[in-house]
Amino acid sequence: MARKPLRVALLGFGTVGSSVAKILVERPELGDHVQITHVFNRDVARKRTSWVPASVVWTDQIDELFAARPDAVVEVVGGIEPAGGWVRRALMGGVSVVTANKMLLAAHGPELLHLAATNGAQLRFEAAVAGGVPLIHGVREGLSGDRLIRVAGILNGTSNYILSRMAGGDEPMAVVLADAQRLGYAEADPSADVDGHDAAAKLVVLAGIAFRRHLRLDDIPRQSIRPISGADFRYARRLGCTIRQIAMVEARDGAFHAFVGPALVLRGSPFGLNMGANNVVTIAGHYGGENSFSGAGAGGLATAVAVVSDLLSLTQRTHERGEEWPSARVVPPAARPYYLRFVVHDRPGILASIAAALARQRINLDAVLQEPGYPKDALPFVITVEACEDAPLRAALDEIARLEFHAEPPLALPLLPSAVAEESGAGPQTLGDGPRP
């Protein structure tokens, strides 16, 4: 028997909402499956457009939209409130919701999933992570037979644009960030992107899909990309690496460790090869090994494709059971090697002081590298250390940071993977004259 089309109300008619409508209007063959009945937006008169079918009701009254009893609501307003209240109202009424709102899901995902499951509704959010990349569907459907152990990815296009451009020309962070803002890649306040908050929210959602567990956003350590300099990319190249903002969560002994921040990755890896504003995610499974997903991580049309795909899935899976995300315990990361960069006022004894502080925490040096051409009053050099726990490394760096020779605060970045020395051919050595011990 032919089904009636899914009657859909759009909450928000900005970049993504208008792109959803555009796809549905330009693909009339989808009309037998999905039809927009209402568009809600504040100051709706300025949003009204002639290319949307005349049958669509435009309103700035949320009660009018819910009184029409749509089959599904698309929430692309963003933010936690009032969007959260509207999503709850829909789910409690048995109305399915499709959303692109990663901040709402990161804050209240378990509650919203529970509401959906207990009220016979669906909550779908393919567009909340990696834009138009079919990541959530790929993990849910394509990898459900595996036991997943790690999810890692570049989830923020703005940071990737900045870092990949810096890698290509050693331009200062401030110059590249200003250009990213001018081109529309970065907001006037770029904190959510460059300080890792956006990627952390997406990681919460992705962990829920991969592991069916909820990591609290506040439990995910975040490190900003702001301290990264051209010198760091120069040293990274000597190690066969480049630098990217990585979001990672890994299952470990019944718990999880997670982080978001800049890390050294091999230049030939999927992360190192990812350029511009694109996203890439690798999923590691116990049986199937690694699988990668990549593509446009942002943009109205790319994100709208994911929303429309979720709407079409609702027309095919009306009896699908909901899911729950129990709370997860977050623990410190496993031991891993690190890249340590220091910028110092050069004088005798610097290397000996740093090595002694690391030795007191039983941290072994792997390599010492110094590139020529930098001034003595702001001399950058790098120490790589063998795999160590995070806590003793932080203790050593706290001690080192109190010493008087620093021109800039020390910087520590994880080395992913641990085989950097083997890949680059860099063993324990000092390049150039080095800070005098």
Catalytic residues, by residue number, are 202
Distance CA 44, CA 250 (A): 44
Q: Report helix, strand or coil for 224.
A: coil
Distance CA 143, CA 34 (A): 28
Other CB atoms within 10 Å distance of the CB of residue 365? 16
Is the separation of the CB atoms in 22 and 88 below 8 Å?
Answer: no
Phi first, then psi: give them for residue 41, nearest 5 degrees.
Answer: -160, 145
Distance CA 172, CA 165 (A): 10
- What token pair was written down for 393? 């490394």
Q: Which of 54, 89, 65, 53 is nearest to 12 (CA)?
A: 65
Phi first, then psi: give them for residue 401, nearest 5 degrees.
Answer: -65, -25
Q: Which of 62, 61, 130, 143 is nearest to 102 (CA)?
A: 130
- What angle, rounded to 10 degrees, do the helices at 102-118 and 83-92 form? 20
Is the separation of the CB atoms in 435 and 370 below 8 Å?
Answer: yes
CA distances from 334 to 118, 361, 407 (A): 38, 16, 31
Q: Which of 292, 302, 300 is nearest to 138 (CA)?
A: 292
- What token pair was written down for 394? 């932080």
Give kind and range of the element (H or E) at residue 234: helix 230-238
Beta strands in 106-254 (DSSP E): 123-124, 148-154, 241-252
- What token pair was written down for 355? 């090595």
Phi first, then psi: give them for residue 268, nearest 5 degrees.
Answer: -90, 5
Give kind and range of the element (H or E) at residue 99: strand 96-99
Phi first, then psi: give them for residue 72, nearest 5 degrees.
Answer: -150, 150
Distance CA 231, CA 378 (A): 11
Q: Which of 269, 240, 246 is nearest to 163 (CA)?
A: 246
Is the separation of the CB atoms in 281 and 293 below 8 Å?
Answer: yes
